[in-house]
Amino acid sequence: MHILKTDVLIVGAGGAGLRAAIEAARGGAAVLVVQKASGNATQMAGGLQAVAFGHADPRDNPEQHYADTMAAGCWLNNPKLVKVLVEEAPRRLLELEEMGVEFYKQDGKFQQLLAGGHTYRRNCIYKGSNTRQLMQVLKVKAAEAGAEFLKNTVVARIVLYGGHVAGALAVDALSGELRLLSCRSLILATGGGGGLYARRTTPPGIMGDGYALAYAAGAELIDMEFVQFMPTVLVYPPRLNGKPVNETIRGEGAYLLNSTGERFMARWDPRKMEVATRDVVARAIFSEIQAGRGTPHGGAYLDARHIPEAVLQKSLTHYHSLLKYGCNPAQNLLEVAPAAHFFCGGVRIDADGATSIPGLFAAGEVAGGVHGANRLGGNALSETQVFGARAGSAAARWARESGGEGNNKAGDETLREAGRQFLNDYTFRGSCFLDREGKGITQLQSLKNRLRRTVEASAGILRSEEGLRQGLAEIEACRGALADLRSGISRRALANAVELDHMLTTAEILLRAALQRRESRGAHFRQDYPELDDDRWRKNIVFAANLK
Ligand SMILES: Cc1cc2nc3c(=O)[nH]c(=O)nc-3n(C[C@H](O)[C@H](O)[C@H](O)COP(=O)(O)OP(=O)(O)OC[C@H]3O[C@@H](n4cnc5c(N)ncnc54)[C@H](O)[C@@H]3O)c2cc1C
């Protein structure tokens, strides 16, 4: 088996992975970035990045940004990581500007919008109100710095040698061929797990692989029960179903109505109303729909008709698409409902993105600790840049100074043996290239969807012991079905099987964490324990394979 060698292996080419690649390559390391084919969350982002420049409101500063982030996270956040985030966010955004990324500015100052939970207008806006140019610039800069890319490839396992990272096993998504990747350090930048849910804002391929990879390698996962739901995701027009409406439009005065015309947020948070944190607004909308006060297409109304068109154009995501599909936000009510959006927890890291496994780093949404129980709008993009850059430079340093536990003869043999063992779990039917149908692909897809429905029903906005236990039983059943399929799929289905395996691991950890937390806090709401319980639960839940 041929081995591909690099110094720093980066899994994921979203905002965090690319920022890490730039820094690692500039630090003198050979860098290989591996990615799936199915897109990333960064390229879909609404283009808001929280940075306390204080341009829109001179009272703002990093200390207030810190206080808001900790309060939103219900004090489960790692204070050191939050401090790094708020203090470095300005520098990282200015670096992006230097690289050529454009933001909306006036008289040399950043224009900034208010998002739920922020005390001041703090969110800088990418020009065009999307992140397309961010992704273009990061890709160009990473390639210019010397990073190489391997596309359409699913990383299946992290391989350790002597307790250190030695490399990874990856599967070509089309042919099912196994690739052995040897490295001195590895950065997980695989994004979140929105793809575990049926209704979500994220691309389907972002389905929690990184958590499962880290867990199997023995790293720690923290705060996995906290999944944030974007409250206002379009349910109509059909072509825009699933597209999020960013919350800054509520900051500009848009409000929510149920089918009786009631502005129901007054019952949920009379002080903050529509700019309450995402968890409160999501729960409010979901409860209105469940109580039969939803709109014809199963949402709540978002009324932005009173907002000047110039403001709508700049601060309402999908404004032009809405017009194209016959819905003018200046004249029509929008119909919105919550959808799974962001995994607040993840792989436990220190301020340099290092995990508990020597040589293994994590950055971006896959990492945990920054957001605690809930995330503020705009903090995720800042996180990708701040911790992506830090992990990139720390991983390059590790590769330089550790001598590299992988990349030697014994490491190579460990990789080959891991590859053999991995393939032994499967019996393949049909040849690699000739089996056009890809035996097993349809069954694997339908199992993925079954799992998504299960996670949605049991670990959605409202949770309970009974629902979570049912969900865990269903996960076991899906696991059994996957085991059966392993004995008769084609090579072309292998990447799909790997993804499902990862989904099952991550889903189980999420449900177990949610079951364990017998209180309601931030994005986690238990119907059977609806109160916050600071005495017993102001603490983090950590999962690690070796702590079992
Ligand atoms: C619709 C939408 C709008 C948003 N808007 C905002 C916003 O305005 N402001 C904000 O702060 N945040 C926003 N967010 C959140 C934010 O965009 C994400 O949290 C952030 O971009 C995640 O970046 P990332 O680099 O960690 O992961 P991603 O950008 O998701 O990239 C993950 C990468 O990992 C790869 N990958 C995953 N698994 C594997 C595997 N097994 N093998 C190989 N590669 C793998 C994928 O192919 C992809 O390249 C939004 C999210 C969504 C979905």
Q: What pLDDT sits at residue 409?
A: 76
**410 within 8 A of 202, measured Cβ to Cβ:** no
Amino acid occupying residue 372:
G
Q: Which segments of 132-239 are extended strands (E)? A: 148-150, 153-161, 164-172, 178-182, 185-188, 221-222, 227-236
User: Which of 40, 318, 370 gets mutated to test ligand 1 (max ligand atoms within 8 A of its CB)?
Assistant: 40
State residue 316's pLDDT score. Answer: 85
Report residue 342 as tokens: 């962001």
440 lines ligand 1 (CB under 6 A): no
Which amino acid is residue 480, in one-letter code? G
pLDDT of 46 over the 90 cut: no
Distance, C-alpha 190 to centroid of its chain: 8
- The minimum-distance atom of ligand 1 relative to the CA of 48 is 8
Instruction: Tell me the three-class secondary structure of 326-378, residue by residue.
Output: CCCCCCCCEEEEEEEEEECCEEECCCCCECCCCCEEECHHHEECCCCCCCCCC
CA pair distance 24, 395, nearest whole angstrom: 7
| Cα dihedral across residues 37, 40, 46, 51: positive or negative | negative
- Write out pLDDT tens, residues 87-139: 999 999 999 999 999 999 999 999 999 888 899 999 999 998 889 999 999 99
Which one is catalytic: 157, 278, 390, 491? 278
Q: Is the CB of 384 under 6 A from ligand 1?
A: yes
Pocket test for ligand 1, best of 32, 33, 42, 96 (most atoms within 8 A of CB): 42
Q: What is the mean pLDDT of residues 205-223?
A: 98
Most ligand 1 atoms within 8 A of CB, residue of 199, 206, 336 to mutate: 206
Q: What value does the CA radius of gyration of the chain take, rounded to a whole number of Å?
A: 23
Which tops the pLDDT comparison, 277 or 330?
330
Closest atom, ligand 1, to C-alpha of 200: 53
- Provide the pLDDT for residue 117: 87
Q: Residue 33 C-alpha to ligand 1 middle, in angstroms?
A: 15
Whether residue 175 is predicted with pLDDT greater than 80 in this model: the reply is yes
CB 44 near ligand 1, within 6 Å: yes
- Cβ-in-10-Å burial (0-12, 13-18, 19+) of 313 comes to middle
Q: How many of the other CB atoms lie within 10 Å of CB of 413?
A: 12
| 34-128+145-173+185-225+353-409 is classed CATH 3.50.50.60 | yes
Average pLDDT over every residue of 469-479: 98
Ligand 1 atom nearest residue 378's Cα:
11
Domains 34-128+145-173+185-225+353-409 and 427-532 share a fold: no
> Cβ atoms within 10 A of the Cβ of 433, count?
12
- Kindly give the distance from the C-alpha atom of residue 191 to the centroid of ligand 1, in angstroms, as a whole number: 5
> Is ligand 1 within 6 A of the CB of residue 208?
no
Tell me the mean pLDDT in the region 482-495: 91
Q: Is the peptide bond before 358 cis (omega within 30 degrees of 0)?
A: no
CB 203 less than 6 A from any atom of ligand 1: no
Give the residue, 303 or 278, on which the prediction is more confident.
303
pLDDT at 278: 84
Mean pLDDT for 140-152 is: 98
Question: What separation, in Å, do the N-terminal and C-terminal C-alpha atoms of the chain show?
Answer: 34
Q: From the alpha carbon of 50, which atom of ligand 1 is closest?
A: 11
278 is catalytic: yes
CATH annotation of 427-532: 1.20.58.100
Question: Residue 15 Cα, ligand 1 centroid: separation in angstroms?
Answer: 7
CB-based contact 82:66 (threshold 8 Å): yes
Decide if pLDDT at 436 tops 60: no
Band of residue 531 on the pLDDT scale cut at 50, 70, 90: very high
> Residue 433 — pLDDT band, cuts 50, 70, 90?
very low
**pLDDT cut 70: percent of the chain above it:** 97
The rounded mean pLDDT for the chain is: 94
Cα(537)–Cα(523) distance, rounded to whole angstroms? 14
pLDDT band of 432, cuts 50, 70, 90:
very low
The pLDDT assigned to 70 comes to 98
Q: In whole angstroms, what is the distance from residue 29 CA to residue 8 CA?
A: 7
Question: What local confidence, expressed as pLDDT, does residue 318 receive?
Answer: 87
Respond yes or no on whether the N-terminal peptide bond of residue 530 is cis (omega within 30° of 0): no
**pLDDT band for position 38 (50/70/90)?**
confident
12 C-alpha vs ligand 1 centroid, how far in Å?
9
Locate the ligand 1 atom nearest the alpha carbon of residue 194 and give its number: 53
**pLDDT (mean) for 249-275:** 94
Domain map (residue ranges) of the chain? 34-128+145-173+185-225+353-409, 231-338, 427-532
pLDDT at residue 406 in the model: 53
Give Cα 37 distance to the centre of its chain.
16
| 450-468 tens-digit pLDDT | 999 999 999 999 999 999 9
| Residue 288 to residues 259, 291, 292, Cα–Cα distance (Å) | 9, 5, 7
Task: Using alpha carbons, select from 231, 226, 311 the residue that is nearest to residue 264.
Answer: 231
Distance 193 CA to ligand 1 centre (A): 9
Torsion of CA 288, 293, 295, 297, to 10 degrees: 80
Of ligand 1's listed atoms, the one at least distance from the Cα of 190 is 34
pLDDT digits (tens, 9 = 90+) for 353-384: 999 999 999 999 999 999 999 999 999 999 99
Q: At the topology level of CATH, where does 231-338 sit?
A: Flavocytochrome C3; Chain A, domain 1 (3.90.700)
- Residue of minimum CA distance from atom 33 in ligand 1: 12
Quote the ligand 1 centre to 157 CA distance (angstroms).
20
Any atom of ligand 1 within 6 Å of the Cβ of 13:
yes
Query: Would you place residue 414 in the very low, low, confident or very high pLDDT band (cuts 50, 70, 90)?
Result: very high
**β partners of residue 43:** none
pLDDT of residue 368: 98
520 — pLDDT class (breaks 50, 70, 90): very high
> Dmax of the chain from CA atoms?
71
- Using CA positions, which residue lies closest to atom 6 of ligand 1? 45
Helix (H, G, I), strand (E, B) or coil at 532: coil
- Residue pLDDT, tens place only, 268-281: 999 999 988 888 99
